[in-house]
Structure 1
Amino acid sequence: MRRIIPMTLSVCLFSVLGCSASLGSEGGEDETSADDEAGDDASEGGDEGGYSPCSSSNPCPDGQFCFNGLCAIGCLSAGDCAEGQYCATDTDMLCHDSEVPTCTSDSECASSQLCVNGYCSAAPEPEDAGCNLDDYLDDGCPSNAVCLESEDDPELGVCYEMPACGADGSCPVGSIGAVCNNGYLPEKDAICLVNLCESTSNCPSDWSCVYFDQATVGVCSSGAFGTPCSTGEDCESGVCSPLPGFGAGLCT
């Protein structure tokens, strides 16, 4: 059975001017098209659906603050952060986790991160390689990163981002110890400094916190061969070979 398209609809489909699919109103009056009605409704709606400046009644998303009606990245107080975060008003003015998260494998971190010494860190880019492993004070890394040995080449330094310290200024011990940078490294943010310590409480159980001469912060040492030591008690072998002029030695 053939289908017959009503003439009025046929004209609508092929006319370059277009028309309403309606067959017309009684009395021969023209019907207002749906598009025209929608346009009128939009005009009557004014700014509905358009830009609305931020305010106390129209707050910004978590991690942003309102500035002259515009949302900006960062925070001015804890109220600008998500639950479980704090605003680092004395450093980078960003929201950070109140308790620093830890990890034991890459699978516990975001897809763009690696688990580095117990902390999730952004996977380094090629330009992050080549930092100075021999100088913690001037390692050549950004203020939120530290220079650590590359997994593929122990002699190559790579900049790894470290998490901000917790709201109480503490850092989890992690796998090799850590301490919050409370001004120890002036060029770095208040981040967790891996393998450094104020005392043994910042190091894994049974590790030592070894200070070298004139150092403001110590190094966590496991006591294995070649690790720092103050006395033989710090070493698994019981032997600490002094390094003249350094105020400490190495386990041998």
Structure 2
Amino acid sequence: MAAQSRSSEMEFLAEEMIVEIEARFNHPPLKLIRGTFGPFYPNQRAKVPLWLGLSLKKQKKCRLVLPEWLDSEHLAEVLRQERAQEGIFQDLPFYYVEIATLLLATAADEFPMPDRTRSLVEDIENVRMEKIRRGLQGMSDTVLRGRSVMSTKMNHVGAMEITTVRGFLTEAMGLFYTLSGQEVVAQGGGREGGVGRRLGVGGAASVAGERTGSGRNGPPRKLRRFREEAAREGTN
């Protein structure tokens, strides 16, 4: 249940990402909390939050323009690079898993080969998770050999990947801190830049929480329903 709740929260945050749509309706600009989007004209592109694009797609008022990184050939190359480069994560959107999942669920008809895209995203996620596990195992082996672990750096790690390992990483970093007798610094970052904090036992979770939005107010399900109602009313 906790894992399902975290997944729902990550998807909710991912829905704030900006995507392109091709409208099938006329409408003046929409003024939302995030900003003003539009105007909308038939067969012309506009940028909107993902949640609005998904809602309009369900109402058959637009088609979603897939981001370039979701092209199956590009994903195949990303997967090849992930497998070839140990310890290096390819530069993908922070919410790449969630965005792909949402688009495949609502707009599968926009994909030339949706099953292949789904399989590639899953393979990329699995390869990256295995890299993280090997990295943590390497840290553990270093401490057991009596050497200090001063930092861990994971560039371009995604939201779901951080959330998945956050609990274990918190305990592991605390244990490494205890065994090494030194202060541990955890660094993580992607496109937005690095995140560095001096950590106690709970520090790793707080870093991951800043990136994933853990602990934000309001159940995602209720807020998502509010978004959909606002989209329907705003474009009628």
Q: TM-score of the superposition, structure 1-length normalised?
A: 0.22
Q: Of Structure 1 and Structure 2, which has the larger fraction of its residues in helix?
A: 2
Structure with greater strand percent:
1
Q: TM-score, normalised by structure 2?
A: 0.24
Q: Which has the higher contact order (CA 8 A, sep 6+)?
A: 2
